[in-house]
């Protein structure tokens, strides 16, 4: 009997021969009679070469394995190329309407500027949603996927602290910073899986909260060193309570730092009334609720002088934070139209909308006013109170629907010993909240004309 090594070699030789038969044309067949005659003529050679045959088979087997391995690698490479091509074609098709620089996942730098300009030119606004958990973050991206649009995931200082855990040490804003960064890293990991462009943003940062802002900038700079882009897409500085000159000076100082790593600045002029996430302007003088064109021009002159500096302006035009019934807010979007004309005249440019505005405090605004503001160059509108309510409402409706299964761990209408774990599993109620929030956000995106924009 042949040795084990010889058997392996012969098996390999067979595999090699099969591969060769598949890859190369077959040679002309030799008749059985010719084979027998040849063997009878050289019996001695056949007998004396048996050991050499084993060695030859072994060598042939090694060559066969090498050839098969090379062929396998070529096959894998071809598969990878085909998959990459298919993915690229799918992305190109999905984003046929978007600027070429905009890809699925977190959008930064030039791609972000291109995206905002695309929104302004096509007169739609991107919803900015204040998120306080991975569930609300995921609901935002789910809505964008459903709507075939884009979304801005917004994180606040208080939201960051909540994500880190209210019991975490917050000395020097440590928990606020850590939680905000953790949420941003979550978005970074999963955004591409939704197949939509996502803007990763932080909301109102007043002067007293600058240590939080500084901590986020350090995280951006570290991320930039590793990946060539910042962790976040943009940040907001809300220094509207400070004198105008100080507001602009601090914003310019930070924009100079942000521009080096391709981060866009959102700054606020005037005051958005009402209260939101620790920022309380309920008693502000009503005259400060309306920004003047001259103030916007002053901002433009200073911030546009920063090399590679990109910015948007949250100019107040009567908008108010909080929850209000439609018609109860005296919104004046005409201020934005007049401001665009003023800045255009100052610049002597062809563009009718040289400024990119953002819209805070939209609750209580009519759809007509919202869309008129978008026509004036609003590229982003904050959507907070409606989506927060929707998330709660989804969980509340789940509780009402399954009330009889949520009274104890064991025992329900189906029997006293029936378990209820699948009902009180936190994922069930949280998912109900996500679904309702996502659906409500799709409605908001329709109002903002941010549907079918990819």
What positions carry a catalytic annotation? Answer: 203
Contacts of 314 (CB under 8 A, 6+ apart): 236, 238, 266, 267, 268, 269, 272, 357, 358, 359, 360
Q: How far is CA 172 from the centre of its chain?
A: 29
Decide: helix, strand or coil at residue 228: coil
Give the other-Cβ count within 10 Å of 319's Cβ: 30
Among 127, 125, 143, 105, residue whose Cα is nearest residue 433:
143
Residues 277, 320: contact at Cβ < 8 Å? no
**Packing angle, helices 50-94 and 4-23, rounded to 10:** 50
Report the greatest alpha carbon distance in the chain: 116
Tokens of 272: 């958005």
Buried/exposed code over 178-204 (b: 16+ C-beta within 10 A; e: otherwise): bbbbebbebbbeebbebbbbbbbbbbb
Q: How far apart are CA 306 and CA 9, in angstroms?
A: 72
**Interatomic CA distance for residues 187 and 107, integer angstroms:** 11
Query: What is the C-alpha separation between 128 and 393, in angstroms, rounded?
Result: 20
Distance spanning both ends of the chain, measured CA to CA: 69
């Amino acid at each position: 009997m042949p040795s084990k090594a010889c058997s392996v070699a012969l098996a390999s030789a067979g595999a090699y021969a099969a591969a060769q038969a598949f890859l190369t044309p077959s040679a002309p067949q030799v008749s059985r009679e010719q084979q027998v005659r040849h063997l009878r003529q050289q019996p001695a050679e056949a007998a004396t070469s048996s050991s050499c045959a084993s060695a030859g088979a072994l060598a042939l087997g090694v060559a066969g394995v090498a050839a098969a391995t090379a062929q396998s690698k070529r096959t894998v490479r071809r598969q990878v190329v085909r998959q990459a091509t298919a993915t690229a074609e799918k992305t190109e098709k999905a984003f046929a309407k978007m600027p070429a620089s905009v890809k699925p996942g977190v959008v930064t730098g030039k791609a972000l500027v291109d995206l905002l300009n695309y929104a302004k030119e096509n007169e739609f606004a991107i919803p900015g949603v204040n998120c306080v958990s991975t569930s609300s973050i995921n609901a935002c991206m789910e809505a964008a996927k459903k709507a075939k649009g884009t979304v801005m995931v917004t994180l606040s200082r208080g939201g960051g602290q909540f994500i880190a855990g209210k019991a975490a040490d917050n000395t020097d804003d440590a928990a606020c910073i850590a939680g905000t960064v953790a949420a941003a890293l979550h978005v970074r990991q999963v955004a591409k899986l939704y197949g939509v462009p996502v803007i990763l943003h932080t909301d109102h940062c007043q002067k007293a909260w600058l240590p939080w802002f500084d901590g986020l900038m350090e995280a951006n700079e570290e991320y930039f060193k590793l990946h060539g882009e910042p962790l976040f897409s943009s940040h907001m500085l809300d220094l509207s309570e400070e004198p105008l000159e100080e507001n602009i000076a601090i914003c310019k100082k930070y924009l100079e730092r942000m521009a080096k790593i391709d981060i866009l600045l959102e700054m606020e002029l005037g005051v958005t009334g009402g209260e939101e996430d620790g920022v309380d302007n309920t008693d502000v003088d009503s005259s400060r609720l309306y920004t003047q064109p001259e103030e916007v021009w002053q901002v433009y002159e200073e911030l546009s002088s920063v090399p590679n500096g990109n910015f948007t302006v949250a100019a107040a035009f009567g908008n108010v934070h909080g929850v209000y019934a439609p018609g109860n807010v005296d919104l004046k979007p005409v201020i934005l139209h007049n401001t665009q004309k003023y800045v255009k005249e100052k610049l002597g440019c062809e563009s009718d909308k040289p400024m990119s505005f953002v819209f805070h405090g939209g609750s209580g605004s009519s759809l007509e006013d919202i869309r008129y503001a978008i026509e004036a160059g609003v590229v982003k509108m904050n959507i907070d109170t409606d989506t927060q309510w929707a998330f709660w409402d989804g969980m509340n409706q789940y509780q009402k629907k399954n009330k009889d299964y949520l009274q104890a761990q064991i025992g329900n209408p189906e029997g006293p010993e029936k378990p209820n774990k699948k009902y009180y599993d936190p994922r069930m109620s949280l998912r109900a909240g996500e679904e309702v929030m996502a659906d409500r956000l799709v409605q908001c995106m329709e109002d903002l004309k941010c549907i079918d924009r990819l």
